[in-house]
Amino acid sequence: MNEDKINIKISVRNLVEFILRSGDIDNRQGSKNDKEAMQAGSKMHRKIQKQMGLEYHAEYPLKIELDFNEFMVTVEGRADGIIIEENKVTIDEIKGVYLDLDYLQAPIEVHKAQAKCYGYIYGKEAGLSQIDIQLTYCNLDTEIKKYFTETIEFCELEEWFLALMDEYQKWARFQYEWNQIRNNSIAPLEFPFPYREGQKDLATSVYKTINRKKRLFIQAPTGVGKTMSTIFPTIKAVKEGLGEKIFYLTAKTITRTVAEEAFSILKDKGLKGKVVTLTAKEKLCLCEEMDCNPVNCTYAKGHYDRVNEAVFCMLSEQDTFSREVIEEYAIKYTVCPFEMSLDVSLWCDVIICDYNYVFDPKVSLKRFFADGVKGEYLFLVDEAHNLVDRAREMYSASLYKEDILELKREVKYYSRKLEKYLEKCNKSLLEWKRECERYLMIESIGAFILDLMTLAAEMEKFLEENKEHDVVEKVLELYFQVRHFLNMYERIDDNYAIYSEHEEDGRFKIKLFCINPSKNLLECLNKGNSTVFFSATLLPIMYYKELLSGEPKDYAIYANSPFQEENRMILIGNDVSSKYTRRNAMEYQRTADYIKQVYAVQKGNYMVFFPSYQYMRAVYEYMDETMPCVCQKQGMNEQEREEFLELFTNNQKEIIGFCVMGGIFSEGIDLKRDHLIGALIIGTGLPQISNEKEILKNYFDAKGENGFDYAYRFPGMNKVLQAAGRVIRTTNDRGVILLLDERFHSRQYKELFPREWNQPPACTITTVKSQLDMFWTRFKSSQ
């Protein structure tokens, strides 16, 4: 290869899937091409490969480089197997499917195309005149196999492959030319603001981490400018060839907006970069009802025939692919906006998206993270404290007895066999239900898993044979739940617990509970070059290291706050408590008195964060009618949320917002200057006692850790720190934070305080007025 030329790399899978696809999007055939079959298939691949003889060479790496004058294109991949015999060579492409193989009469075209690519690359290397390709389909439930074999003359194969590459050439040329434009724009790019205290060190640490292909955990207080401090050095790293694609991962829409704004600022400073924001399918859908098939959706019909033209047009005309831009082009070309956005992401420098797209096995982007695929990816994980619970949810799975029983009753009119298998699973759940009082830890569910596998196979067959029945949608819904459960069972190890539980509404479930998701997360992170986790509340760091990467040696830094300590007062109320045993009229009255005192000293906008809606309503009863209090409601929609926040930005009136800790107003909102001058935090944020929290506690106790810390104290303190972070958003802000619970005075809690909090003094209901008066008077005298 010419070392001076830019080398464009593409996998065999991505090449054929992108160039050769055609036809409709059709969710009615979703189980055939089910992504979960891909994930479960790798295990089956290894099993089949081990059964083969000495002439079978498994996972055979193949690569070919083609010269397109200004640049090179490398097509690479691993053939599942190459059978090298004395008189012939056979390329074996193995596909694990959940399809009853009786319904498969010919190989699927893109699978055959993969085998043909490997056949051409190997045949050219070995100088063959002809080569055999074999498609081995294996049902993942029954392990029944079906083979399709064909002998192809090499000259015919070469003509086919070169025609394929000729179609790909315009895409490779686009990528080559764009990379030149992008890198030339990055070279002179400078940090867009004057560096705040500690910001340059933070940016340097991010760059060094990427350069060393390591992971970094950043505890960065509000105001450090962590978004730009991580994005800027990451972009510089792309210019130096340390990564090709940036994934900016978020948990909430509002943090996605912050990232978009940061890239927009850099573009105003000269950056040329293609940036896409991925929006959930449900939000992007242009139809009244989301039903992705050619009968019910105009955009699904013939989508694959038109989408490549739409994508190329978008890439040629736009650099920023927002929801609005994607919808505009989807309508213009009559294609599915969601699927088109995923295709556009292949050619973008930056992908801003939810954690799910990288980590969740149900929705992760197979374009980038299919089994065995590794890329030049750089992961920036914003608000990383949220990833612990989100990851537990992604890698856990539940099945409800009631769902299985209900479906059994509905399908008996259509399939006695399916009814029988549902009943068998229902009986197992019934036995556990009889043994279970509150919750029941279960050691082994091997027999139940075998029954579920049989059930899944029969459901697959039913779905193939009964496409028009009303019950199909319900079968499909449970089918995907069963599939997910089986796939998560494949991951079961010491990081999991299996339990059954009676839920409050009376439903009974069995759950595969992922307690420590670090192993699963690491499997995803290792598909990229480097990862930076950052948050204003990543304390204690060792807790997040253990649960997000499992690697104590990962780098960690603590960014110093750029704000003057004198602009903020933190007090701990040591004569009040939110303990369950102390929740009474006297405590509610005292909490209300604190709120009144704080407001009396300095009128303005405040937020009061309560441990629950019940507690909030109880304290509200003790507030004077003259006080400008407004309460957060349960289940507020986006408009109600915006209206609530607008009360704080309306300078004509002062407001005291009653909110719930850990809710929608305790993180991710940005009220600057006098839009918010104080936060009162009632209680230590401890999660409510639940069966699952007790399982967490017992799990970490058994490992020699402090289980209470892991299940309750650390997550609770994170909510406290997030709520406190709503105050002081800029260098000119001034405000107060009151921690109203005597427990904040204990060593266990003070050790979790951020460094910049120093040693907050205590207060009581009788001293708080004078202490706050001294704080606010200082500013009045300086005006």
Residue 332 is predicted with a pLDDT of 96
Residue 372 is predicted with a pLDDT of 64
User: Is 250 exposed, middle or buried, given 0-12, 13-18 or 19+ CB atoms closer than 10 A?
Assistant: buried
In Å, how far are 36, 47, 438, 629, 737 from 612, measured between CA atoms?
39, 52, 23, 17, 19
- Give the model confidence (pLDDT) of 452-496 as tens digits: 999 999 998 898 888 777 788 899 999 999 999 999 999 999 999
> Which two tokens mark 497?
């617990």
Task: Indicate whether 186 pLDDT > 80.
Answer: yes
Residue 46 is predicted with a pLDDT of 62
Residue 149 is predicted with a pLDDT of 95
Mean pLDDT of 184-205: 93
Residue 50 is predicted with a pLDDT of 67
- 44-77 burial, b for 16+ CB within 10 Å, e for fewer? bbeebbeeeeeebebebebebebeeeebbbebeb
Residue 65 is predicted with a pLDDT of 94
> Which two tokens mark 216?
């970094």
* pLDDT band at residue 620 under the 50/70/90 scheme: very high
Residue 413 is predicted with a pLDDT of 87
Residue with tokens 């506690």: 697
- Domains of the chain, first to last: 6-174 (3.90.320), 195-273+349-394+517-562 (3.40.50.300), 282-347 (no CATH), 397-514 (1.10.275.40), 565-782 (3.40.50.300)
Residue 369 is predicted with a pLDDT of 84
Mean pLDDT of 315-343: 96
**What's the angle, vertex CA 250, arms to CA 244 and CA 254, rounded to 5?**
125
- Give the model confidence (pLDDT) of 15-38 as tens digits: 999 999 889 988 765 444 444 454
Mean pLDDT of 188-192: 96
Strands (E), 302-349: 320-321
* pLDDT band at residue 435 under the 50/70/90 scheme: very high
Task: Let me know: does 422 contact 478? Beta carbons within 8 Å.
Answer: no
Q: What sign results for the dihedral spanned by CA atoms 745, 748, 752, 754?
A: positive
Tell me the C-alpha distance between 347 and 22, whole Å.
Answer: 20
**Peptide bond preceding 754: is omega within 30 degrees of 0, i.e. cis?**
no
In Å, how far are 161, 196, 225, 605, 728 from 672, measured between CA atoms?
59, 18, 14, 11, 7
- Give the model confidence (pLDDT) of 353-401 as tens digits: 999 999 999 888 888 887 666 789 999 999 999 999 999 999 999 999 9
Residue 147 is predicted with a pLDDT of 93
- Please state, for a pLDDT cut of 90, what percent of the chain lies above it: 75
Task: Indicate whether 220 pLDDT > 80.
Answer: yes
Q: How far is CA 391 from the centre of its chain?
A: 8
* pLDDT band at residue 44 under the 50/70/90 scheme: low
Mean pLDDT of 658-670: 90
Q: Which residues contact 401 (CB under 8 A, 6 or more apart)?
A: 426, 429, 430, 433, 507, 508, 509
Task: Indicate whether 783 pLDDT > 70.
Answer: no
Task: Indicate whether 782 pLDDT > 70.
Answer: no
Residue 3 is predicted with a pLDDT of 59
- Give the model confidence (pLDDT) of 541-567 as tens digits: 999 999 999 999 999 999 888 888 888
Q: Which residues contact 536 (CB under 8 A, 6 or more apart)?
A: 219, 220, 221, 222, 226, 721, 722, 725
Residue 32 is predicted with a pLDDT of 43
Task: Indicate whether 508 pLDDT > 50.
Answer: yes
The larger pLDDT score, comparing residue 44 to residue 167, is at 167
Residue 31 is predicted with a pLDDT of 44
CB atoms within 10 A of CB 618: 19
Which of 167-171, 574-578, 681-685, 731-735 is predicted least confidently? 731-735
Tell me the C-alpha distance between 153 and 691, whole Å.
Answer: 64
Task: Indicate whether 216 pLDDT > 80.
Answer: yes
Assessment of whether the complete model's pTM goes beyond 0.95: no
* pLDDT band at residue 442 under the 50/70/90 scheme: very high
- Give the model confidence (pLDDT) of 105-126 as tens digits: 899 899 999 999 999 999 999 9
Start-to-end Cα distance in the chain: 69
- Give the model confidence (pLDDT) of 514-530 as tens digits: 999 999 999 999 999 99
